[in-house]
Structure 1
């Protein structure tokens, strides 16, 4: 190619023979500075040959365990041309750091200690976030009110801590036994009715219990002599009478038309309100049966005796589930009166021991195995007189009597902490964490017994030594809108 610049035979290599201009200018080689020659030095490469052969490095590429999204240069034979201009650009963008441009330096490893500290900080922020308290929980109801809503005088009640002298019916009537007399009060009309009086030969009234929702006005009562009677509170007359003077009285509980009664000799007798005699007798205990409780579905009966043994009786099979193997027995170290079946999980049973046990055990009776223990244990070092599961949330209520001193060397720190302030109180525990969320000093003397309202929200407690009956609003129902009735109901009256 011929032009005024001369004959350029190689379009890539600008090495011309003689270039003449008008007016003449100095030789082009003399005008090129050292910097300009360095800029075009890359043109002297034979790129044709380099592009013709595949880009295979002379040495194998090193595999570096780096971040898959951050490119790490490998050691290759490709030329790396860096000029002062590229240095200025790299410096302007902060790319002269060896950690980025070094082809051989491995990526910096993130400190394990720093990583663990970040995880610990994130976890602490997650767990420290306060969760909203459910409006159904006892923390939002009893914990916020921290006081009873109704108090009744109860002079002359039985001081036996294993008696069950109080019950709450589905007709919203509270029945109370005062030694030889039985009264009930309609909580809506506040009318007090004297229902029955026993004779000296019958003994004092030890236990009472209302029938279920189908027959809410039937009240069963048992005397210390062993006699069991069923009274019709609506008609104020005796419905049926079962005489059994050979066996003393323990706890009792209804299951439809069937009434289970614990006996002093260790037996449990079953009565049907439609028949005049007992229909079955459960043999398994050797001491007085204090606690008797049917499951919600009526399939199983839990019983606890004075020696701390708990038995489960299958109603359909008419046999004890805990009698086949001695190791499968559910055991406390003290008498067991407090029993409660969960209304929202089949087979979940809570049992409480009196002195010297003072623990709550939670069992899964559907998965009992030889030598298996309770699922959860709550040590309280205080007599546990009654237990109630909430039907609206996963919480367990317990009432307590007197505490006893335990040597500090024999008490685990967690157990000692859980026993603080439980004496003569009403406590609520969450499940399955078993943490105590509410603790209210219910009475100035031991709480002997308690009963739950039909709606599952309120609880009546009784203290025979204090001669007082109190009602506490513990939970709220899902459709409960009356949140402030406690201030209106707070009053003091007498049930006699």
Structure 2
């Protein structure tokens, strides 16, 4: 039923890496609570207290090396983001006091530093670093600019969110970026017309809107076709919802007349902390933190049953959203995760266990062997 490189066959634990976040970092938050990145030079970048380390993932048993130390005046490490394949050794760091730095993993030196109040999410798009802040502002920095003053002056700034930006995702077209905030609102922007977000989503009071009940904690664009944006939230009652938005066709979640076997919403009993598409197979992975316990009717006192999805990896077929596999991977909350650049492995941040957990998730795609003309014509 499932292909050889599906997570159904591949998903397994590889090893663990020692990890810790500063006490000042909210370990229950996603992304900001799991400052980790995976570079295109195959290095994992992460924090241990007030120090930043990097580790070659070509040898998962190898020793991590220190990149830098975050001083007390800078606050605590809050965000880590690695650049794309055109800058395989570049990593961006942000601290709780708003210190922003770009580092070169090859030279182990910072290339530029500047200050920004309240950075809360960031992501690269080529040489552009997009940063969201606690007040809902979005800035696009051209990292080719080497003068900090010019970098800040030339940055494009937009303000439409009314709360802290929690997560960002660039589409592969390089022009479209989605931003989600703590109030459950998602906005989609075309950087060629950056001042006003696109009018997409469900029709609410004559305007289109992309809205969740809980804070947006994960965004991912489908890499294979169309402009499908998948969003995940973390509600206060420890539930989570995954929604599918077709940005290109009908400006919202797909029509209610869509066959029921292809849902546009999946309600789950655990908070969603990250979403990742496989680049090789039509599968979507979600990671989950705390789950909503279920009360058990009984004449005697019985503890509530824990959510089946709490602290787990769940893999879905996309766009059918059929269940592929669920694997409990931690005793404590998964704060976030990062997928390897080749899409084969995932690293899960579990701060309460002081561990980064490395898992194989998708195998290598093997193209069917082409038969020769002689073989195809042979008598059987």
Which TM-score band (shorter chain)? 0.7 to 0.9
For residue 319 of structure 2, what is the aligned residue in structure 1? 432
Partner residue in 1 for 2:143: 273
Structure 2 residue aligned with 1:242: 114
Query: Which residue of 289, 295, 302 maps to 2:165?
Result: 289
Look up the SS of the partner of 1:140 in the other structure: helix
The correspondence of residues 480-495 of structure 1 with structure 2, limited to 5 A, is none
- Seen in structure 2, the aligned counterparts of structure 1 residues 428 and 231 have a Cα distance that, compared at 3 Å, is same
Report the alpha carbon displacement of residue 406 of structure 1 after superposing the two structures with TM: 6.2
Shift of 1:178: 3.0
Asked if the contact 2:13/2:360 (under 8 Å) is kept, the reply is: yes
1:181 corresponding residue in structure 2:
51
Structure 2 counterpart SS, 1:139: helix
Alignment partner of 2:122 out of 247, 252, 271 = 252
How far apart, in 1, do the equivalents of 2:2 and 2:104 lie?
A: 43
Matches of 1:371 and 1:262, distance apart in 2: 25
Query: CA separation of 1:453/1:465 partners in 2, compared to 1, >3 Å: closer, same or farther?
Result: same
After superposition, what is the alpha-carbon deviation per residue over 1:164-184, rounded to whole angstroms, capped at 9, x for unaligned?
A: 411111111001023422111
Partner of 1:387: 275
Report the equivalent of 2:3.
134
Question: Within 5 Å, which residues of 2 pair with 1:392-407?
Answer: 392-405=280-293
Q: What residue in structure 2 maps to residue 231 of structure 1? A: 103
Distance change >3 Å, CA 360–CA 370, structure 1 → 2: closer
Q: Is the 8 A contact 1:165 1:178 kept in 2?
A: no
| Aligned mates of 1:376, 1:178 — CA distance in 2 | 39
Distance in 2, Cα, partners of 1:155 & 1:184 = 14
In the TM superposition, what are the counterparts of 1:347-362 in structure 2 within 5 Å?
Answer: 347-356=227-236, 358-362=240-244
What's the CA shift for 1:299?
1.5
- 1:345 Cα deviation from its structure 2 partner: 1.5
Given that 2:291 and 2:307 are in contact with CA atoms closer than 8 Å, whether structure 1 keeps it comes out as no
- RMSD of the alignment, in Å? 2.4
Is residue 210 of structure 1 aligned with residue 82 of structure 2?
yes
- Tell me how far 1:402 sits from its aligned partner: 0.4
Aligned-partner Cα distance in 2 for 1:425–1:343: 24
Equivalent positions of 1:28-67 (< 5 A) are: none
Query: Structure 1: how far apart are the matches of 2:216 and 2:240?
Result: 10
C-alpha distance after superposition, 1:268-316 (max 9, x if no partner): 1111111232321121101000101111221211111000101101122
Larger Rg: 1
The TM-score, its normalising length taken from structure 1, stands at 0.64
SS of 2:248's equivalent in the other structure is helix
Secondary structure of 1:201's counterpart equals helix
Quote how far apart the aligned CAs of 1:432 are: 2.3
Contact preservation (8 Å) 1:382, 1:423: yes
Answer 1 or 2: which has greater strand percent. Answer: 2
Please give the per-residue CA displacement for 1:325-381, whole angstroms capped at 9, x wherever unaligned: 864121111111211111102311111001235101111111244797796111112
* Native 8 Å contact 1:328 1:372 kept in 2: no
Where does residue 245 of structure 2 map in the other structure? 363
**Matched position secondary structure for 1:346:** coil
- 1:132-171 equivalences in 2 (<5 Å): 132-142=1-11, 147-156=12-21, 158=25, 159-162=27-30, 163=32, 164-171=34-41
* Unpaired runs of at least 5, structure 2: 257-262, 297-305, 368-380
Q: What is the CA–CA distance in structure 2 between the aligned matches of 1:297 and 1:465, rounded to whole Å?
A: 37
After TM superposition, give the deviation of residue 224 of structure 1 in Å. 1.2
Count matched residues: 334
Secondary structure class of the residue paired with 2:352:
coil
| Preserved CA contact (<8 Å) 1:455 1:477 | no
Tell me which of the two structures has the higher relative contact order, counting C-alpha pairs closer than 8 angstroms and 6 or more residues apart: 2
Q: Which aligned pairs between 1:456-495 and structure 2 lie closer than 5 A? A: 456-479=343-366
Alpha carbons 2:246, 2:252 under 8 Å: kept = no
Residue from 430, 438, 443 that aligns with 2:330: 443
Instruction: Please name the residue that 2:264 is paired with.
Output: 376
Q: Report the Cα offset of residue 393 of structure 1.
A: 0.9
Normalized per residue, the structure richer in helix is 1
- Contact residue 316 and residue 324 of structure 2 kept, 8 A: yes
Distance of 1:224 and 1:368 partners within structure 2: 40
2:73 is aligned with 1:201: yes
